[in-house]
Chain A
Amino acid sequence: MPKINFFKKNSHSKSRQKQKIGISRKQNLIGWAFIIPGAILIFLFYFYPIGKSFFLSLQGGAGLNLRFAGLANYKRLISDSLFTQSLFNVCIYLLIQVPIMITLALILAGLLNDQQIKFRSFFRTAIFLPCATSLVSYAIIFRSMFALDGFVNTILLNLNLIANPINWIGQPWTARLLIVLGLTWRWTGYNMIFYLAGLQNIDPAIYEAAKIDGASAFDRLTKITIPMLKPIILLTTIMSTNGTLQIFDETKNLTNGGPANATLSVSQYIYRLSFEYVPRFGYAAAIAFVVFILVAVLAMLQVKVGDKR
């Protein structure tokens, strides 16, 4: 999935201004020729569908028999308990999982940036490895491991830690826990790589000086690492927020939205409305549009908060 970097200003704009002088009118036109194919495809497959999505959201009816319905879809949305449920579920993932993952990734990046630790490249590869697994694959692996008669219950039973198998996937909160666990497993290493790249730009001498001054490991994390990595932490937070709000592969393959829609995500609800039940394209588009606004507003809020600190 594409990642966000829109808040990053062109730090090189001054040096680039100078180079601009050398560009002739003809070259300028050729420049557009380089850009046009890529730009047209993005307009065609991203921006045009958004407009179309909004247009669809004002229409009602089943299947392709659509007619103008004004804001009826948006009114219906407010009292739709499944929509509220899916939004609640996604917010739960977001609020629990993202802070845990980012903290863990920061700690790991800090440890793997520490010169006294040996075998750093082995640890880095191991922790980064889950990123090579597709979302569907890991969701199915987790689902199999945590099945009622699966590996985890077998081990827990054999160790006498539990008397009866835990129905991980069959209970609302354990099912949500599995999604959070899966997301953390899959994405912690991914975020860690961002922080490691950022840490390379910090002079190790700063840490040495802090150590000599008696700063503890915790102090070094909160007083040096986090402030220096702030822009990258902001970037990864926005990416994770965006990704979690869109979660689909995991809830479809790990829990299939169950039990009783306790893990249903908004994307999966839109998918169900469009492709599993009698298609309600107009209503699905209205929900999709609300998600779009939500993602945009959250990203803007995070940029605002990040800028102030």
Chain B
Amino acid sequence: MKISKFKLALYGKYLFLIIISFLSIFPLFWMFVSATNASVDVLAGTLLPGVQLKENLTKLLANTNLLRALWNSFKYAAAATILSLFVSSLAGYGFEIYHDKGKDILMNILLLSMMVPFAVIMVPLYMMFGNANLLNSTAGFVLPTISTAFLIFLFRQSSRNFPREIIEAARLEGLTEFGIFFRMYIPVMKSTYAAAAVITFMNAWNNYLWPLIIMQKPEAQTMPLLISNLTSGYVIDYGVLMLAVAISVIPTILIFLALQKNFAEGIVGSAK
């Protein structure tokens, strides 16, 4: 009797996990299936892959500048990731390795920036970038995202695991302080960099509000803007729409599946 009750509870747990997993995956599954179907079939509730993928793609390419948007999104995200990793890891390293009272206070002040809602600063930022003639430019997209307290904090926390002996030894060898950072720290901290890169790239790739404000020219459009615009028509072609969404989601899903561990580390990293 006791065993069967235990078994029953176990089956209940599995059932619960299966239902939640199903609900988590289903919308994405539906998106992929719909991308291969005509709009009528999508609305009819089909759950089988169709044969309309090519037609949907032709329509999408004809109605939007898909390749331009993909390239823009990639360009902005790559630039943001490289610069952000460089600037934030420099600062994180500096805050931990050379820490003193002044730097600790500054770090705490910088952390307050994480409490600043983007809606609060978007109008002044828009004015600043408008005055500096940086609307519709890569620099405009990237600049506000280069330095974030989150990444600096992540690098500061993980710098604690960087062996001090390496620094001491490198100093005796005659390496400069910056030399130690570039030649010792960066190679050793590869996994932190990977985690930070995944997070930063995804955030930049998915960023919506900031490009919505500053990327006013069609040539500067990103993928989130492109798919959002597709829904503004009076009649929506769901096959084409879901294909566009699928194309924008595929890179992040691939990165996620390949680097899930780094992704989780990047999210949780600074909370340790």
Chain A positions within 8 Å of B, measured between CB atoms, are 1-6, 8, 10, 12, 16, 19-20, 22-23, 27-28, 30-35, 37-39, 41-42, 45-50, 52-53, 56, 104, 108, 111-112, 114, 116-117, 122-123, 125-138, 140-145, 147, 149-151, 154-155, 158, 185, 189-190, 193-194, 197, 217, 232, 235, 242, 245-246, 248-249, 252-253, 266-267, 270-271, 274-275, 281, 284-285, 288-289, 291-292, 295-296, 299
Contact = CB atoms under 8 A, between A and B. Distances in A.
Nearest to A33: B94
Nearest to B224: A136
Interface in B22-57: 23-25, 27-28, 30-31, 34, 42-45
Contact of A141 (B31, B97, B127, B143): B31
7 contacts: A41-B147, A49-B120, A53-B123, A127-B21, A132-B255, A137-B245, A288-B123
Contact of A150 (B43, B124, B128): B43
Contact of B249 (A8, A53, A114, A132): A132
A279 to B, nearest CB: 9
Contact of B271 (A185, A235, A242, A275): A235
B231 interface: yes
A45 B121 contact: yes
Contact of B147 (A32, A38, A284): A38
Contacts of B97: 31, 34
B209 A249 contact: yes
B248 A193 contact: no
Interface of B: 9-10, 13-14, 16-17, 20-21, 23-25, 27-28, 30-31, 34, 42-45, 87-88, 90-91, 93-95, 97-100, 103-104, 106, 108, 110-128, 143-144, 146-153, 160, 164, 168, 177-178, 181, 202-203, 205-206, 208-209, 213, 224, 227-228, 230-231, 236, 238, 241-242, 245, 248-249, 252-253, 255-257, 260, 263-264, 267-268, 270-272
A242 B25 CA distance: 26
A6 B91 contact: no
Interface centre among A37, A125, A284 (most CB of B within 10 A): A37
Contacts of B241: 140, 144
A135 B208 contact: yes
Given A47-B113, A129-B256, A134-B249, A114 B13 contact: yes
A194 B264 CA distance: 8
B249 A49 contact: no
A197 B268 CA distance: 7
Contacts of A285: 123-124
A126 to B, nearest CB: 4
A134 B205 contact: yes
A217 B122 CA distance: 47
A1 B203 contact: yes
B18 to A, nearest CB: 8
Contacts of A299: 115
A35 B20 contact: no
Given A45-B144, A140-B241, A235-B271, A39 B91 contact: yes
A130 B238 CA distance: 20
Given A133-B252, A149-B43, A38 B124 contact: no
Contact of B149 (A2, A52, A128, A193): A2
| 7 closest Cβ pairs, A-B complex | A31-B98, A34-B94, A38-B91, A134-B206, A2-B150, A41-B147, A132-B256
A36 to B, nearest CB: 8
B221 to A, nearest CB: 13
A186 to B, nearest CB: 10
Contacts of B28: 129-130, 133, 141
B227 A42 contact: no
Given A31-B98, A38-B152, A141-B30, A45 B143 contact: yes
Q: Which of B16, B23, B120, B128 has the most CB of A within 10 A?
A: B120
B132 to A, nearest CB: 11
A56 B228 contact: no
B225 to A, nearest CB: 8
Contacts of B117: 242, 245-246, 267, 288, 291-292, 295
B205 A151 contact: no
Given A39-B147, A45-B125, A127-B20, 15 more contacts: A2-B150, A4-B114, A38-B91, A46-B113, A47-B113, A50-B120, A117-B10, A125-B260, A130-B28, A136-B227, A185-B24, A246-B117, A274-B126, A288-B120, A299-B115
A116 B7 CA distance: 11
B143 A117 contact: no
Contacts of B152: 38
A253 B174 CA distance: 57
Contacts of B108: 6
Contacts of A135: 206, 208
Contacts of B248: 134, 137
B5 to A, nearest CB: 11
Contacts of A185: 23-24, 27
